[in-house]
Amino acid sequence: MADKEKDKKKKKDKGVNGKAEGVSETAPLPNGKDHHAASPHAEVSTMRIGKECDYEKELSKLQIELVKLHEWVRHEHLKVVVLFEGRDAAGKGGAIKRITETLNPRICKVVALGTPTEREKTQWYFQRYVPHLPAAGEMVMFDRSWYNRAGVERVMGFCTDAQYQEFMLTCPEFERMLVRSGIILIKYWFSVSDAEQERRFQDRMDRPTKRWKISPMDLESRKHWADYSRAKDDMFNATDHKQAPWFVVNAEDKKAARLNVIRHLLSKIPYKDLTPEPMELPPIVKAEYIRPPYQEQHFIPVIYK
């Protein structure tokens, strides 16, 4: 009996490299030492989607690890903020969707703010983002963030030069404050070529289910491709600091980008497997019950069977 308890404890204490049922053999290494997240100049082993790696199977394995991570965040009362930035149609939304679709939305929240109101325009710039920061045991994914000021607002003239310069000066300090407060801050920039961006825009134009993704601002931004490139370079120069560096995601292949960013995210937060033990469903207690007549209920038409 004692041996069984020891085996049970060993299984419980396995980190992300444990080989318990459902854990990928290619799971990220703990303590941020993920060989797939290394420098682009380092020698790494890679897998080609559709050949060595099946996208759906690998995504499923990584999503199991994400569930373990978010359970660890809840258990340890961690506060995690992940920023997703990049050009339009770079794949940010698709990556966020795959990260969050298997997670508890009460623990992992997505924030995608719209155009600031007239009142918000008069506030301290970071003020509209602060209420969305996580409490203990929460993860927040920002689909675009305070970096709007360094990008679209700068390029399209929605802020003054003084406001832009103030942002570039104070943003690193704001982020250092977040980190000192105990927030784990991770910043991703999704990089895509102009040719691939053009192809994705055209796909959105051709498909009614995706056309809502095209906004007037997206169309206008096409005139300012070089301006956005320069703005991104200036942003990196000012805000790529030790406490919250930028991590660039090669998003030319959307599926590969999703897998790579999930693996990297898992590698940045060391966690243990706290998957609850299987439970037995108790029997339903069927007290005396009389179902009301069907004709008194409003059923929707049965079109599909």
Q: Do β-strands 246-250 and 183-191 pair in parallel, antiparallel, or remain unpaired?
A: parallel
Q: Is the pLDDT of residue 42 over 60?
A: no
Q: What DSSP character marks residue 93?
A: H
**Which residue range is the domain that position 127 belongs to?**
14-296
Q: Is the pLDDT of residue 212 over 80?
A: no
In 10 A of CB 132, how many CB atoms? 14
Q: Is the pLDDT of residue 45 over 70?
A: no
pLDDT band of residue 89 (cuts 50, 70, 90) is: confident
Burial 205-239 (b: 16+ CB within 10 A, else e): eeeeeeeebeeeeeeebeeeeeebeebbeebeeeb
166 vs 8 pLDDT, higher one: 166
Token pair 């703990």 is found at 30
Lowest mean pLDDT among 8-17, 18-27, 222-231: 18-27
Q: What is the mean pLDDT of residues 258-279?
A: 94
pLDDT of residue 264: 98
The token pair that represents 209 in the structure block: 């289910």
pLDDT of residue 194: 83
Q: What is the mean pLDDT of residues 78-104?
A: 95
Within a domain: 179: yes
Residues forming beta bridges with residue 140, ordered by sequence position? 81, 109
In 10 A of CB 259, how many CB atoms? 22
Within a domain: 6: no
- CATH number, domain containing residue 114: 3.40.50.300
> pLDDT (tens digit, 9 = 90+) per residue, 239-254?
999 999 999 999 999 9
Within a domain: 226: yes
Distance in angstroms (rounded) separating the CA atoms of residues 273 and 13: 7
Domain count, the chain: 1
pLDDT of residue 18: 38
Q: What is the mean pLDDT of residues 87-100?
A: 93
pLDDT of residue 33: 41
Q: Is the pLDDT of residue 226 over 80?
A: yes
Q: Is the pLDDT of residue 30 over 60?
A: no
Within a domain: 302: no
Within a domain: 198: yes
pLDDT of residue 116: 95
> pLDDT (tens digit, 9 = 90+) per residue, 156-176?
999 999 999 999 999 999 999
Mean of the per-residue pLDDT values of the chain = 85
Within a domain: 5: no
Within a domain: 78: yes
Q: What DSSP character marks residue 189?
A: E
The model's pTM is 0.81
Q: Pick from 17-21, 35-39, 257-261 the range whose average pLDDT is largest.
A: 257-261
Phi-psi region of 77 (alpha: psi -120 to 50; beta: other; left: phi over 0): left
pLDDT of residue 52: 64
Distance in angstroms (rounded) separating the CA atoms of residues 23 and 60: 10
pLDDT of residue 97: 97
Within a domain: 9: no
Give Cβ neighbours of residue 134 (< 8 Å, ≥ 6 apart): 79, 80, 81, 109, 140, 183
